[in-house]
Amino acid sequence: MTAGRRLVDALVAVASRYEPAARKEKLRLLGALAGRRLGRPRALLRLHETLCFLQAYPDDPEVLEHVDRALAEFPRRVARLRAAARGRLHDSGIVNTTLDYPFGLPMARWLSTRFPRDCEVAWARFVDTERLDETLSLLAAAAEGDAFSEGGMGWRAWLRVAKGGRRMSDLQLLLEVFERTGLPEETRDWLYESLALPVMWRLRSVGASRTLARVPPARVFFHADGLERRAASLVDALARPLPSLRRAPRALAEALLEAARVAMATRQRELHAFSHPNPDDVLLVDAERGVRLVFVGILPGFRLPLEGYYAFLALKNGIPVAYGGGWELFGTLDFAVNVFAAFRQGESAFVATELLRAYRRIFGMRTVVVDRYQLGHESAEALRSGSFYFYHRLGFRPRDPVVLGVLAAEQSKITADRSYRSPIPVLTRLAGAEVYLTLPGGHPQPEQRLRATDVSGLVARLIARDFGGDRRVAVEESTARARRALGVSGWTAWPAAERCAFARLSLVAALITDLERWPSAERRRLVRVFRAKGCGSERAYANLLDSHRRFRRSLEALVT
């Protein structure tokens, strides 16, 4: 083992310790590693991840200064590597490396606009050329169709010709073709995503990597007294005065959305809300211990059909450390948090608690649910990270009898042997059902709650039964019926987004056969709910929906 690797291993071992001796050792190791050549990619990656952790969780200003300098060295460190060694850092997200991923259209557009000289289609990794041929033949002008037929020029030559001498990448041309299709956005985006075009991204711009991704915090929180790793009672935490919530000014919102996209793209991930964000619906919570929580609403045309939804990015001292989302319907929040791997030895329980306190402020939920995927069902990452026990320590509990039996047996083993760890097959069984946190006023049987999928099933049957499966006619007639039943006036003066939201929800209104007999006040309130789905604030919609008890009871009666 080389001396450099031994130093890196020692820094990894001491990184999450915060007693005075550990601080002194961190400074010694950081000093010894400064400028030292590390030729092995694995050692360089481990150093990088440890430095990222220490930048988010610094002991004091002196340690942070050394860490910042060490991260600033990384562009030169990577540049000094041999090509083969640098290639082994592909997909790492480190500065001066490359990654490729089949990003969807919104993210590919953002990358191509934000980093135009650093992004291109990774043709060497693209395999479904026949599908691309067929897709381009559909999108090109009819008179160009023979270019893609048997014996035609084919898509490669067509791309060269279609540029018309313009200086642009293949990616920019393809994005231009898709942007000009005239298809509905959802159809266009799906068609592009079905191609699975891998985008090669060279991470050489400032801020375009995990190495240099930081939103400067107002002040840095230092950890001289150690990390806060206790899992306090969530019920108690949510009963305390909730954090203040504020809307981000437009310029700050745009900067935070940029940070969210970089954090996701450099880890080869996407999130619907970060692809279709509403810059005017970005909410901020500045919690204790240097934690800032950014909640991102979605543009009205891309929102979920019935639920209220905010995604989030969690920052610790300006470093993105976690992402996820919360979907709320009639007082129940479906919650998901994913802590980035480099930061899982930090204050994950504290961050999750503050996230739920913020969601309580946003939605006022009374029940919180974590689905099976987040626990490890069909998710190897969640299984390896011990996700079930993370949520269990926070107070979430299963209600499924089979899972309860497995959990009881595991707890007996843990009590008998504190070193025992549940193996992967057992964790898979523990992830076999949802887990719940019930707050005062919460659903007594949350597994039997009304779900958005229940309502969508009812709508599908309605369209088949009453409209012969014609969805266009179903929307048109249901919208007209809902307008009559609810006494809607001034329809043409509404903003287009509100008319669209009302039309989409009219199919849900069509399920309620006695709608026109509701008291006028209840019908006016339902109009406000439907219009709010197309307004600027998803929070306003969710709160209006949650408060309309008659609407909820009517839907619940249909699914019981």
Break the chain into its structural domains and give their ranges. Answer: 3-87, 98-202, 234-448, 452-559
Helices and strands (H, E) in the chain, number of each type: 26, 12
| Cα(254)–Cα(120) distance, integer angstroms | 24
Q: What distance lies between CA 104 and its chain's CA centroid?
A: 14
| Cα(70)–Cα(52) distance, integer angstroms | 10
Residue 382: partners with Cβ closer than 8 Å, 6 or more residues away: 373, 374, 375, 376, 431
| Cα(232)–Cα(162) distance, integer angstroms | 61
Residue 1 is predicted with a pLDDT of: 66
Q: Which H/E stretch holds residue 253?
A: helix 250-265
| Cα(403)–Cα(530) distance, integer angstroms | 39
CATH architecture of the domain 234-448 equals 3-Layer(aba) Sandwich (3.40)
Residue 145 is predicted with a pLDDT of: 81
HSE toward the beta carbon, residue 132, CA cutoff 13 A = 20
Cβ atoms of 277 and 296 closer than 8 Å:
yes
Residue 275 is predicted with a pLDDT of: 96
516: its two tokens: 């026109």
Residue 513 is predicted with a pLDDT of: 94
- Amino acid at residue number 354: E
3-class secondary structure per residue, 379-422: CHHHHHCCHHHHHHHHCCEECCHHHHHHHHHHHHHHHHCCCCCC
DSSP string, 128-167: -HHHHHHHHHHHS-GGGGGGGSTTS-HHHHHHHHHTTT--
CA proximity to 321, closest of 268, 381, 373, 259: 259
Q: What distance lies between CA 427 and its chain's CA centroid?
A: 24
> What is the Cα gyration radius of the chain?
26
Tens of pLDDT, residue by residue, the chain (560 residues): 688 899 999 999 999 999 999 999 999 999 999 989 898 999 999 999 999 999 999 999 999 999 999 999 999 999 999 999 999 999 999 999 999 999 999 999 999 999 999 999 999 999 999 899 999 999 988 888 888 887 788 888 999 999 999 999 999 999 999 999 999 999 999 999 999 999 999 999 878 999 988 999 999 999 999 999 887 889 999 999 999 999 999 999 999 999 999 999 999 999 999 999 999 999 999 999 999 999 999 999 999 999 999 999 999 999 999 999 999 999 999 999 999 999 999 999 999 999 999 999 999 999 999 999 999 999 999 999 999 999 999 999 999 999 999 999 999 999 999 999 999 999 999 999 999 999 999 999 999 999 999 999 999 999 999 999 999 999 999 999 999 999 999 999 999 999 999 999 999 999 999 999 999 999 999 999 999 999 999 999 999 999 999 999 999 999 87
Terminal-residue alpha carbon distance, the chain: 65
| Cα(403)–Cα(397) distance, integer angstroms | 10
Cβ atoms of 550 and 316 closer than 8 Å:
no
Q: Which H/E stretch holds residue 526?
A: helix 520-532
Place of tokens 């919690």: 287
CA proximity to 381, closest of 337, 433, 335, 327: 337
Residue 42 is predicted with a pLDDT of: 95
Query: Which parts of 147-249 fold into alpha helices (H)?
Result: 154-162, 170-179, 185-195, 234-239
Residue 146: partners with Cβ closer than 8 Å, 6 or more residues away: 152
| Cα(60)–Cα(68) distance, integer angstroms | 12
C-beta atoms surrounding 433 within 10 Å: 19
Sheet holding 98-101, edge to edge: 98-101, 199-202, 119-121
Sheet holding 397-398, edge to edge: 246-247, 277-286, 291-298, 308-316, 319-329, 332-339, 367-370, 435-438, 397-398
Nearest 5°: CA angle at 489, between 496 and 501? 30
- Amino acid at residue number 476: E
Residue 336 pairs with which residues in a beta bridge?
Answer: 325
CA proximity to 265, closest of 142, 108, 393, 397: 108
